[in-house]
Amino acid sequence: MIWEIDDPYGVYLTFDDGPSANTLEILDILKEEGVEATFFVTSKGPDNLIKRMHDEGHTVALHTATHNYATVYASVDSYFNDLITVQNRVKNITGQTSYIIRFPGGSSNTVSRNYSQGIMSTLTSEVVRRGYRYYDWNVSSGDAAGGNPSSEQIKNNVINSLRKDRSNMVLMHDIKACTRDAL
**E strand or H helix at 3:** none
Measured CA to CA, the distance from residue 155 to residue 141 in angstroms comes to: 7
d(CA 63, CA 104): 6
Question: Which of these is catalytic: 16, 17, 143, 174?
Answer: 16
Give the span between the Cα atoms of 70 and 67, in whole angstroms.
9
Distance between CA 108 and CA 136 in Å, rounded? Answer: 9
- Is 58 tagged catalytic? no
Of 67, 143, 173, 174, the catalytic one is 173
Torsion of CA 151, 154, 159, 161, to 10 degrees: 170
Is residue 151 within 8 A of residue 182, CB to CB? The reply is yes
Contacts for 68 with CB less than 8 Å, ≥ 6 apart? none
Residue 173 falls in the annotated catalytic set: yes
Annotated catalytic sites, by residue?
Answer: 16, 173
